Amino acid sequence: MTVPREMDAQLTNPRRAFSLLILYRWISLIPPVGSLILAVSDGDWPWRLVVALGFAVIMNILISIFHRLLNRDVLRYPQLLAVDLVLVAILIALSGGWQTPYYLYALSPLLAAAFFFRFRGAVITTTIFVPLYLASVLIAFSYSGEPPNWLVVMMAIVGFYLISAVFGYAATLMQHLRSAGDDLADAHRDLEVIHDLTTSLQSAADVNEVEERVLEAVTTELNFERAVVALVDEDEQTITAWVGRARKGPVSRKLPHSAQLPLSAEGGVVSQAQVCVEVTSERAILSIRDNGNGFEPDQVLKRVYGREHFGLRGMQERARSLGGACEINSQPGAGSTVMVDIPLSDRQEDDEIKEEPIPLSTS
C-alpha cells in the first residue's frame, strides 16, 4: 500500500500539479503552430495568428520562469485565475473566434481551477469564462464578417463544462481518498500504540507504573492534550483515586487525587454525575456535578462537628492550605456542584504536587 499512497501524494501535490499544467500549456500550442504553418504554406500571412502565437509563447515563458511564485499566489488568491481567463479570451478573439486553434489552450485555466479548487472551483471558473468566450467570438465576427456557427459554439461551451467538471470531480475524489488513507494510517498507528502499551503493561511492577505508562502513551504517542487514569473498586463501586497529565506546556506533571466517588446511585438519589479535571500552566481545577437531592450549603457548613457533612469543610480547609479555594453550590432538589481550584506553585520540585487525600464524597 505504500506505492499508491506515494503516487497519490505526488498527483495531489500543488507544485507537481502546477508543473503538469505548464507542460500542458506548451503541448496545447501544437494546434496553433500547425494552423499557422498551413496558412503560410497556402501563401497567406495571417498576422493575427502570428500575434496570438507570440502572445501565447510569451505567456508560457513567463509562467515557466515564475512558476513557484504563481503557484503560491494562485493558491492564496484564486482571483488571479481571472487574469488568465481574460488573456485566453484575447487569444481566441485574435485567432478566429469560434474557429480558434486555441481551444485546448483555453482549457488550461479551467484545469488549474479543477486541480487546485476541486469540482466547485472548476464549475465557477468555467461559468466566469463562458461570457468571455462568447465576447471573443463576437469580436472575431466583427472584424472577419463571417458569422459564427452557433452549434460549434454551443459544443465548445459544453466541452468547457464537461472537461473542467470531470477533472474537478476527479480531484475531489483524490482528495477524499487521500484523507481516508491518512485516517486509516492514523488508526493503524493508534492500534500499534495500544498493542505496544498492552504488551508493556504486562511487565509493569505496580499500579503506579501502569498509570505512568498509560498516561505517557495517551498524551505523547496518541497526542491527546490531557489524560486521566482512575482506579475503581469493583466491590464498592467507587473511584478510589485518579491521576492526570497534560501533554504540552510547563505543567506536564502528575496530579494525584485521593477520593471516594460513587459510580452508582444508592437508593435512586443520584442518577448522573460528572467529574472534570482541567490543568493549565497556572492552575488545576476539579469540578464535580450531580443531580442528587441537593442541600443547603450554609446550613451544612455550620455543623463544625457534624460527622455527616464534615467532609465539605475538610475540602475547603485543604484547598485553602494549598492556596486555592473550594466552592460548593447546591440547593434542595437541584443537585450539587463542587469546584476545587488549586494554583500550581513554581516552587514544587520534580514537577509533582504533594499527594494529600482530598475527600470529595457528599451525602
Beta-carbon contacts of 282 under 8 Å, excluding residues fewer than 6 positions away, are 343, 344
Which of the four pLDDT bands, split at 50, 70 and 90, describes residue 233? Answer: low
Predicted confidence at residue 229, as pLDDT, reads 73
Percent of all residues in the chain with a pLDDT value above 90, rounded to a whole number: 28
Ordered domains of the chain (ranges, CATH): 2-184 (no CATH), 225-343 (3.30.565)
Lowest mean pLDDT among 24-28, 92-96, 118-122, 282-286: 282-286
Percent helix, percent strand, percent coil in the chain, to nearest 5? 60, 15, 25
Per-residue confidence band for 281, with pLDDT thresholds at 50, 70 and 90: confident
Which backbone phi and psi does 246 adopt, to 5 degrees?
Answer: -105, 145
pLDDT at 152: 93
Section 162-171 average pLDDT = 92
The angle at the Cα of 12, spanning 9 to 18, to the nearest 5 degrees, equals 125
pLDDT of residue 348 exceeding 50, the answer is no
Per-position DSSP letters for 199-235, written without gaps between them: HHHTT--SHHHHHHHHHHIIIIIS--SEEEEEEEETT
Residue 256 pairs with which residues in a beta bridge? 243
Cα distance between residue 27 and residue 31, in whole Å: 9
Confidence of residue 123 (pLDDT cuts 50, 70, 90): very high
Q: Residue 269 has what pLDDT? A: 57
Distance CA 259, CA 277 (A): 13
Cβ neighbors of 340 (< 8 A, separation 6 or more) are 285, 286, 287, 315, 319, 324, 325, 326, 358
Residue 78 φ/ψ, nearest 5 degrees: -60, -20
Q: Is the confidence at residue 46, as pLDDT, over 50?
A: yes
75: confidence class by pLDDT, cuts 50, 70, 90: confident
> For 293-330, what is each residue's pLDDT tens digit?
777 887 777 665 444 444 677 778 888 888 888 888 88
Asked if 57 and 29 count as a contact pair (C-beta separation under 8 A), the reply is yes
- Comparing 330 with 28, which gets the higher pLDDT? 28
Identify the pLDDT of residue 352. Answer: 46
Distance CA 165, CA 69 (A): 26
Per DSSP, 280 falls in state -
**Three-class SS state of 29:** coil
**What confidence category does residue 68 fall into, taking pLDDT thresholds of 50, 70 and 90?**
confident
Which three-class secondary structure state does DSSP give residue 252?
coil
Q: Which amino acid is at 232?
A: V
